Chains A and B, each alone.
Chain A
Amino acid sequence: MRVDAIQNGIVIDHITAGRGMQLYDLLGLKDLDCPVALMMNAVSGKMGRKDIIKIDADIQVDLDVIGYVDPGATVNFIRNGSLVEKRNIEMPKMLTNVIRCKNPRCITSVEQELDHVFRLTDAPNKIYRCIYCETKAK
Chain B
Amino acid sequence: MRSINDIRDLTVDEINELVRLACDIIEHPAAYSEKCHGKKLATLFFEPSTHTRLSFEAAMYELGGNVLGFSEAQSSSAAKGESVADTARTVGCYADIIAMRHPKEGAPYVASQHAGVPVINAGDGGHNHPTQTLADLLTIYREKGGFENLTVGLCGDLKFGRTVHSLINALARYKNVKFVLISPEELKVPSYVKKDVIQKNNLPYVQTTDLEAAIPELDILYMTRVQRERFFNEEDYLRLKDSYILDPKKLVNAKEDLCIMHPLPRVNEISVAIDQDPRACYFKQVLNGKYMRMALMLKLLELA
Which residues on A are within 8 Å of B, measured CB to CB?
A: 103, 105-111, 113-114, 121-122, 130-134, 136
> Can you name 20 extra interface pairs (CB under 8 A) apart from A103-B105, A107-B124?
A105-B105, A105-B125, A105-B126, A106-B104, A106-B105, A107-B84, A107-B109, A108-B106, A111-B85, A114-B85, A121-B196, A131-B106, A131-B109, A132-B110, A133-B105, A133-B106, A133-B125, A134-B105, A134-B192, A136-B192
**B109 in contact with A132 (CB, 8 Å):** yes
Asked if B107 lies at the interface with its beta carbon under 8 angstroms from chain A, I say yes
Question: Which residues of B have CB within 8 Å of A121?
Answer: 196
The number of residue pairs between A and B whose CB atoms lie closer than 8 Å in the complex comes to 47
Among the listed A111, A122, A130, which residue makes an inter-chain contact with B84, where contact means beta carbons less than 8 Å apart? A111
Given contacts A113-B83, A131-B109, A132-B109, contact A107 B104 (CB under 8 A): yes
Q: Closest chain A residue to B160 by CB distance?
A: A105
User: Closest approach, in angstroms, between the C-beta of A78 and any C-beta of chain B?
Assistant: 40
**B106 in contact with A132 (CB, 8 Å):** yes
28 A-B pairs with CB atoms under 8 Å apart are A103-B105, A105-B103, A105-B104, A105-B125, A105-B126, A105-B127, A106-B104, A106-B105, A106-B106, A107-B102, A107-B105, A107-B106, A107-B107, A107-B109, A107-B110, A108-B106, A109-B104, A111-B84, A111-B85, A114-B85, A122-B196, A130-B106, A132-B105, A132-B106, A133-B105, A133-B106, A133-B127, A134-B105
Interface 1/0s, chain B 175-216, versus A by CB < 8 A?
Answer: 000000000000000001000100000000000000000000
A134 to B197 CA separation, bound complex (whole angstroms): 14
Q: Which of B51-110 contact A (CB under 8 A)?
A: 83-85, 102-107, 109-110
Q: Closest chain B residue to A111 by CB distance?
A: B83
Among the listed A109, A110, A134, which residue makes an inter-chain contact with B127, where contact means beta carbons less than 8 Å apart? A134
Question: Which residues of A have CB within 8 Å of B106?
Answer: 106-108, 130-133
Question: Which residues of A have CB within 8 Å of B102?
Answer: 107
**A110 in contact with B110 (CB, 8 Å):** no
A105 to B126 CA separation, bound complex (whole angstroms): 8
A105 to B160 CA separation, bound complex (whole angstroms): 12
A134 to B84 CA separation, bound complex (whole angstroms): 18
Q: Closest chain B residue to A125 by CB distance?
A: B195
User: Closest approach, in angstroms, between the C-beta of B121 and any C-beta of chain A?
Assistant: 11
Interface residues of B, CB < 8 Å — how many?
17
Question: Which residues of A have CB within 8 Å of B107?
Answer: 107, 132
Q: Closest chain A residue to B191 by CB distance?
A: A136
Question: Which residues of B have CB within 8 Å of A111?
Answer: 83-85, 110
Question: Which residues of A have CB within 8 Å of B125?
Answer: 105, 133
Interface centre among B85, B106, B107, B110 (most CB of A within 10 A): B106
Q: Which of B109-126 contact A (CB under 8 A)?
A: 109-110, 124-126
Q: List 9 A-B pairs, minimum CB-CB distance, nearest first.
A: A132-B106, A133-B105, A107-B104, A107-B106, A107-B107, A105-B125, A133-B106, A105-B105, A106-B105
A134 to B162 CA separation, bound complex (whole angstroms): 13
User: Closest approach, in angstroms, between the C-beta of B27 and any C-beta of chain A?
Assistant: 38
Question: Which residues of B have CB within 8 Å of A134?
Answer: 105, 127, 192
Q: Closest chain A residue to B125 by CB distance?
A: A105
Q: Closest chain A residue to B110 by CB distance?
A: A107
**A114 in contact with B127 (CB, 8 Å):** no
Question: Which residues of A have CB within 8 Å of B103?
Answer: 105
A80 to B23 CA separation, bound complex (whole angstroms): 72
Q: Closest chain B residue to A108 by CB distance?
A: B106
User: Closest approach, in angstroms, between the C-beta of A2 and any C-beta of chain B?
Assistant: 47
Question: Which residues of A have CB within 8 Å of B192?
Answer: 134, 136
A68 to B65 CA separation, bound complex (whole angstroms): 48
Q: Closest chain A residue to B105 by CB distance?
A: A133
A107 to B106 CA separation, bound complex (whole angstroms): 6
User: Closest approach, in angstroms, between the C-beta of B106 and any C-beta of chain A?
Assistant: 2
Question: Which residues of B have CB within 8 Å of A108?
Answer: 106
A9 to B62 CA separation, bound complex (whole angstroms): 66
Question: Which residues of B have CB within 8 Å of A106?
Answer: 104-106
A20 to B110 CA separation, bound complex (whole angstroms): 35
Q: Closest chain B residue to A121 by CB distance?
A: B196
Question: Which residues of A have CB within 8 Å of B85?
Answer: 111, 114
